[in-house]
Amino acid sequence: MNNFDFEKIEEKWQNYWSSNKIIECDLDSEKPKFYNLCMYPYPSGDLHMGHVRNYTIGDVITRYKLLNGFNVLSPMGWDSFGLPAENAAIKTGIHPREFTEERITNMKDQIIRLGSLYDWERELAAHSEDYYKWTQYLFIKLYEADLAYKKDAPVNWCNSCKTVLANEQVVDGNCERCETEVIQKNLNQWFLKISNYSEELLTGLEKIGNWPENVKTMQKNWIGKSEGAQFELKVSGSDILFEVFTTRPDTLFGMTFAVISPEHELMENILKISDNKNQIKEYIEKAKSKSEFERMSITKEKSGVDTHLKVINPMTNEEVPLWIADYVLINYGTGAIMAVPAHDQRDYDFAKKYNIEIRQVIMNKESQKNVEIEAYVEEGVLINSGEFNDLNSHTEASQKIIQYLEKNKMGDKKTTFRLRDWLISRQRYWGCPIPLINCEECGLVAEDIKNLPVLLPEIENYLNTDGSPLSKSEEFVNVECPKCNKPGLRETDTMDTFVDSSWYFLRFLDPKNSEEPFKSKFINDWLPVDQYIGGVEHAILHLLYSRFFVKALRDLKMIDVDEPFNNLFSQGMINFEGAKMSKSKGNIVDPEGYFKSHGADALRLYILFMAPPSDGVDWNDGGIEGTKRFLNKLWENLAQIIDMKVEENNIDESGTEIERQLNQSIESITNHLEKFEFNTAVSDLMILNNNLSSYLNNTELISSDLKDQIIRDVCLLIYPLAPHFGSEIYNNYFNDEISKEDWVKPNKEKLTNPTYELVIQINGKKKNAIEVDRGTTQEQAEEICKTKFNIEINDAKKVIFLEDKLINIVV
């Protein structure tokens, strides 16, 4: 056997795998199903190390599960709508489609070059007409089910990109892409009612399969459930009523003022009767002109204006002032609060600034803490609270006060969620058009299903000076209403690309269906995804939106599943020189060079070896030399074993030893792969390789059985991680294809060494160690201590003996 010529070998096997379609999945196979999914990438043009890590991990699982007899579905596609293509179009004039498809071709080549197996027969792309047709179809279904609606909403607007930004695209008040300051702008936009599912999205996390705890926590916090009470406050001397929400009904007696948000719908009514109109108007204007960022972080100092009106505390009938302040947010709770400065730090700060009374109603009898310097938010018992005095705060008193409010028809128990509806409108070109029409007669009308897809129009200029670029195509905008045939106007917004990615894992099961988005049967048989693998940066939004989509489609009776992803693995990010890799920073490390210099297998091994896969790492190629060396050395060792002289029935001591070591490797590597501990799986392979080297130093003869076993097992063990290598040697020796094999199981009888190293401790500290037979008794061990090491056992206070491990003498 010649040396490990990775370039030739890798090409050979990549051709073999694609021409023999070894991963093409027959959905109706008898074998147990395994849906293995890597997050489909945005086609940026070049694979970066984050992709390499993702697709290597995915491929390890694919190949490992194949060998374990599963019918593995492992598809790949493209998240191919989105900003970069459009920005490039604005700059260069190249059509986003052309730009995107070129990049897809390139990236696909690189994924194949990495040696990862994907069922390319199922390839899909979000921007292709036969995909976005069905995105539109699903949108219409959601619309018909009352899960999509339009409303005016202040949005983050970047004046330079001319687009709405999602909250996560706003960094420190500036646009993530161009760093222009983000301003607020009101637009009439589309939302999806994800908030209908808040409770189920939360409880679903409890029932889900194996998800990382931190991801579940992030989702939980994002959904942000809080329980409390809601009740009405009446403005005295008027018929103005408004609701407030509180999680601390136990502090109700401490309410010394109330606050409503400047955007509150009752503001008109308040203005009418307030004698402080001018100041209020001025304040509202000021609040409006502030960006959300200014309102939240720069102006830590709270501000507000007195309405000179009073509201009535429902418990005490006492009149307290009503203020307007922008620290109360319009889109959380009811947009108005009861303020209890003694027990809420925000209210406390406000009360201090405007000299409003601070009345303590909770006291901890032990600490005797008062509210002179800050709000008291911890537990205690109620004081100054009438009949509720002496009840325990938070729990007991809250319950009792809620009961009181309910009994007297003043308020209710209430649960509020932080999760807001999903704004999906984008004033951009390169996205999925929203398939709705504004008809003069009928109002908003969904496009007829048979007219789908609503195609993206061809336009000249992608720059959108005020509205969406789609509005520039008159042909696109002016249509007949599908209901009444009168003139109508199309929606010109496109959808957030998270909509595309919220159902692509469904389409993979039926990617060529031209009648419907998918056959429900396939979904019901194959979902949830058994293993979903992707970057931790998608821990919240993509996963939450996909979960919402699946639940909504279930309620539309299109599918019968509750959750899209049963097991989730989130890999850590790969940074470079401490920073996130990104095109704009110019710090992308791409794998192309390593394919040439070290080969795909060495790169795969290295990226697995460099750190536990869920940890973030800083890219550093210092160690890749090591995995290349390892492959060369293993190649050489196996070649030597193949060339060894055969003599049957001649398993000598070193033969027994290598057999045992092999079995230990099988057991350990299997465990590591099951637990996604790929770094230690690689190190086990290296240890096995070192064992082979010493074996070869010690012996010249081998039985044919042992030879077959070593070659087969080593090839199988390395195959999921370095598939070209494993395939080639297996094929050279057995003249067959390794993927037909079954995964190896350790021979339990050949796992344990007959001897072990007995550790001798004095007072728990290791003093000596000696090789003894397995099963050595305490008496024998004590005897060894006496005779070999001169330790006087009789003087010992205590002797601790752990069989097959250690003896500890306490003196």
Which residues, 768 to 787, sit near RNA by CB under 7 A? 769
Q: Which of 101, 119, 421, 677 binds RNA (CB under 7 A)?
A: 677
Give 329 or 556: the residue with its C-beta nearer to RNA. 329
655 interacts with RNA by CB under 7 A: no
Integer Cα distance of 703 and 652 in angstroms: 10
Backbone region of residue 21 per phi and psi (left: phi > 0; alpha: psi in -120 to 50; beta: other values): left
Q: Which stretch binds RNA (CB under 7 A): 114-122, 191-199, 427-435, 533-541?
A: 533-541
Return the residue matching tokens 């600490």: 367
Give 463 or 769: the residue with its C-beta nearer to RNA. 769
Q: Which stretch binds RNA (CB under 7 A): 126-134, 136-144, 278-286, 795-803?
A: 795-803
Q: Which of 392, 597, 632, 732 binds RNA (CB under 7 A)?
A: 632
Binding mask of the shown chain, residues 697 to 736, with x at each position contacting RNA by CB under 7 A? ----------------------------------------
Q: Which of 623, 736, 786, 792 binds RNA (CB under 7 A)?
A: 623
Which residue, among 652, 649, 635, has the nearest Cα to 700 in the 3D structure? 652
Partners of 416 in the β-ladder: 226
CA 354 vs CA 277, 282, 339: distances in Å: 19, 18, 13
Give 630 or 743: the residue with its C-beta nearer to RNA. 630
Q: Which stretch binds RNA (CB under 7 A): 274-282, 594-602, 642-650, 755-763?
A: 755-763
Integer Cα distance of 502 and 778 in angstroms: 63
Q: Kindly state the tokens that stand for 153.
A: 């909403």
Binding mask of the shown chain, residues 684 to 703, with x at each position contacting RNA by CB under 7 A? --xx--x--x----------
Integer Cα distance of 464 and 493 in angstroms: 11
User: Please, which of residues 206-265 interact with RNA by CB under 7 A?
Assistant: 213-214, 217-218, 221-222, 224, 226, 228, 245-248, 261
Count of residues for the chain? 811
Find the shortest distance in angstroms from Cβ 33 to RNA: 30
Question: Do residues 81 and 118 touch, judged by C-beta distance below 8 A?
Answer: no
630 interacts with RNA by CB under 7 A: yes
Find the shortest distance in angstroms from Cβ 65 to RNA: 22
What interhelical angle do 624-643 and 723-734 show, nearest 10?
A: 10
Give 133 or 394: the residue with its C-beta nearer to RNA. 394
Give 151 or 805: the residue with its C-beta nearer to RNA. 805
SS3 assignment, position 801: strand
Q: Kindly state the tokens that stand for 567.
A: 């097991």
Q: Which of 489, 540, 561, 642 binds RNA (CB under 7 A)?
A: 540
Residues 6+ apart with CB under 8 A from 431: 81, 82, 494, 495, 496, 497
Give 622 or 754: the residue with its C-beta nearer to RNA. 622
Find the shortest distance in angstroms from Cβ 25 to RNA: 33
806 interacts with RNA by CB under 7 A: yes
Integer Cα distance of 305 and 282 in angstroms: 9
Find the shortest distance in angstroms from Cβ 136 to RNA: 29
Which residue, among 187, 197, 190, 161, has the nearest Cα to 176 in the 3D structure? 161
611 interacts with RNA by CB under 7 A: yes
User: Please, which of residues 358-397 interact with RNA by CB under 7 A?
Assistant: none
Q: Which of 93, 237, 443, 616 binds RNA (CB under 7 A)?
A: 616
Find the shortest distance in angstroms from Cβ 530 to RNA: 24
418 interacts with RNA by CB under 7 A: yes
Find the shortest distance in angstroms from Cβ 659 to RNA: 19
Q: Which of 766, 774, 786, 788 binds RNA (CB under 7 A)?
A: 766
Pinpoint the alpha helices (H) of 699-756: 704-718, 723-734
Going through 362-421 in order, the beta strands assigned E by DSSP cover: 362-363, 381-382, 411-417
50 interacts with RNA by CB under 7 A: no
Q: Which stretch binds RNA (CB under 7 A): 173-181, 274-282, 391-399, 680-688?
A: 680-688
Which residue, among 74, 78, 69, 41, has the nearest Cα to 59 in the 3D structure? 74
Give 25 or 662: the residue with its C-beta nearer to RNA. 662
Q: Which of 365, 386, 450, 622 binds RNA (CB under 7 A)?
A: 622
User: Please, which of residues 305-334 interact with RNA by CB under 7 A?
Assistant: 326-330, 332-334
User: Please, which of residues 149-188 interact with RNA by CB under 7 A?
Assistant: 167-168
Q: Would the CA dihedral through 336, 341, 343, 348 be positive or negative? A: positive
# residues contacting RNA (CB under 7 A): 83
Find the shortest distance in angstroms from Cβ 215 to RNA: 8
- The DSSP annotation for 626-680 comes to HHHHHHHHHHHHHHHHHHSEE-TT---HHHHHHHHHHHHHHHHHHHHHHTT-HHH
> Hey, what amino acid is at 526?
W
Q: Which of 202, 337, 381, 481 binds RNA (CB under 7 A)?
A: 337
Integer Cα distance of 407 and 50 in angstroms: 58
Q: Which of 113, 346, 369, 400 binds RNA (CB under 7 A)?
A: 346
Q: State the pairing for strand pair 617-618/701-702.
A: unpaired
CA 743 vs CA 54, 288, 673, 715, 740: distances in Å: 23, 65, 12, 10, 10
